[in-house]
Chains A and B, each alone.
Chain A
Amino acid sequence: MRPFRHAPRGWPGGLWSAAAALMLLYPLAGLFVPVGTWRWDDGGSTLAAVRVSLELTLLAMAVVVAVGTPMAIYIARRPPSERAWWQMILLISVLLPPLALGILLSLAFGPQTPAGQWLAQAGVRTSNSVPAFVVTQVYVSLGYYVLGAVSAIERVPRSLEIHAALLGHGSWSIFRRITFPLARLGLAVALSLAWVRALGEFGAVMITAYYPAGIPVQLWVDLQNFGLPSVLPLLVVFLVAALPLPWLLHVLAQRQSSPTAEHA
């Protein structure tokens, strides 16, 4: 007998879901509202904002992966009680309102703080600088990545890693050949969430690194100074840069067959 895979079909449920989906997509209709001729900033600041956002977010994601992946591997293999503590700590960073996080980062790392002064002596400016921008992005997105990565790694059966070890493989080899291939889509989804979170960050970045201006801050500046016609082109660039990657990964993840489907 075929397993029961789908909920019963019925037009009320479908209609309700379609209405909700339309509601979610409706804001995109704003792109077609006549607001005058779209104007691309000719001073170069818009292009610079796109470059800043993409380059520095990529850099931040490299840091997030480098810091977060070993952490996620460790947490995923801890007993449930210990794992819950780690996840609680990570949730704090996820749940903090961005503006509050920005203020806290300024208070902790600002130029007037001991940490800020020490870093300044080492040549690192902790406010309105590339390091400030990247560090803020790392702070706002690391929790999202690690929580998602823990969930992805948890789904790889521990018994497979044990058998790989019994077949003579060390930790790195097991991660490279077993854990990562089986968890990669989950890791990619986690990274894409972190990417969207970092790229779209406005509140915290505005406090710690108003300069160099990324896309969100530039959108705000353009909206304030020139109004909607100058904002919409940048908004489209923002959507194109931010959305396709996580959307594609989400679709792929949905299609992925369960890695533990057959061990019998």
Chain B
Amino acid sequence: MLEAQVVKQRRDLRVEAALRVETGASLALFGPSAAGKSTVLSCIAGAEVPDEGRIELDGRILFPPSLALARRNVGYLTQSAELFPHLTVEQNVRFGVPSEDGRAHQAWIAELTETLSLAPVWNASAGRISGGQARRVAIARMMARRPPLVLLDEPFAGLDRDVVRALVRALREWQRRIGFSIIAVDHHAETLERLCGRVLVIEGGRGVQEGTWEEVRRAPATPRLQSLLAPL
């Protein structure tokens, strides 16, 4: 289970958010642009250090003090795939897997490769594949470690709907089998709804509403949220 209270002062925004995600559950962070959603994810991942607060994952204290990134065991996917361009796709996918790990891991990586259709680019340089392929490789690289918590910061932006649907389906299936938790940020409520049963709405750096999508749609807490949820 993840419990997090994050306080982070931005230049023009003070982010103060508290959230709790049960093991194997999913939570969407939804709200307008620049509301502080990505800051919350970044602080939980450890890419940024909160000013105050407390982050605990399955009994391990991630903050304070800030636990070293290498020891957090958190999967973190951002809008840019952040592949290592000098390595092949295979080397990227295996990057986080200790070399002494045996057959079970080989089978898992083979499954990731097949599900994400990475075979055609398996030996290609990661710096020379398309954006969509790079995003799939990044998902495989993150999932190869089977992290107990997966943080998704708009990883589907700019991808075709079919691709997004397939990736979401794959993530949900793996979550069902492995039991990891997901916290996801996206601008499309529809995508988040497919991925996460619950949603925390963040506006102006603060959580303004939390519940199921149905609850939030039925009685949005702010006019802004109502507008964001309205059909085009």
Contacts and interface: CB of A to CB of B under 8 A. Distances in A.
B104 interface: no
A163 B85 contact: no
A259 B86 contact: yes
Contacts of B168: none
Interface stretch (B68-76, B113-121, B180-188, B219-227): B68-76
B128 interface: yes
B174 interface: no
A261 B127 contact: yes
B80 A167 contact: no
Given A167-B141, A167-B145, A168-B145, A263 B70 contact: no
Of A164, A257, A259, A264, which is in contact with the most chain B CB atoms at under 10 Å from its CB? A264
Contacts of A170: 70
A160 interface: yes
Chain A interface size range: 20 to 34
A166 B128 contact: no
Given A167-B145, A170-B70, A261 B85 contact: yes
Contacts of B74: 166
B18 interface: no
Given A170-B70, A257-B127, A259-B127, A164 B134 contact: no
B86 A168 contact: no
B82 A160 contact: yes
B85 A262 contact: yes
B47 interface: yes
Given A259-B127, A261-B85, A262-B85, A166 B95 contact: no
Contacts of B127: 257, 259, 261-262
Nearest to B78: A159
A100 interface: no
A18 interface: no
Interface string B41-72: 00001110000000000000000000011101
B70 A165 contact: yes
Contacts of B78: 159
B76 A163 contact: yes
Nearest to A169: B70
B19 interface: no
A159 B82 contact: yes
B86 A262 contact: no
Interface in B73-96: 73-76, 78, 80-86, 95-96
B129 interface: yes
Contacts of B70: 165-166, 168-170
A162 B46 CA distance: 9
B131 interface: yes
A240 to B, nearest CB: 32
Nearest to A259: B85
Contacts of A261: 85, 127
A260 B85 CA distance: 7
A50 B41 CA distance: 59
A70 interface: no
Given A160-B82, A167-B141, A262-B128, 6 more contacts: A162-B69, A166-B76, A168-B70, A169-B95, A262-B126, A264-B131
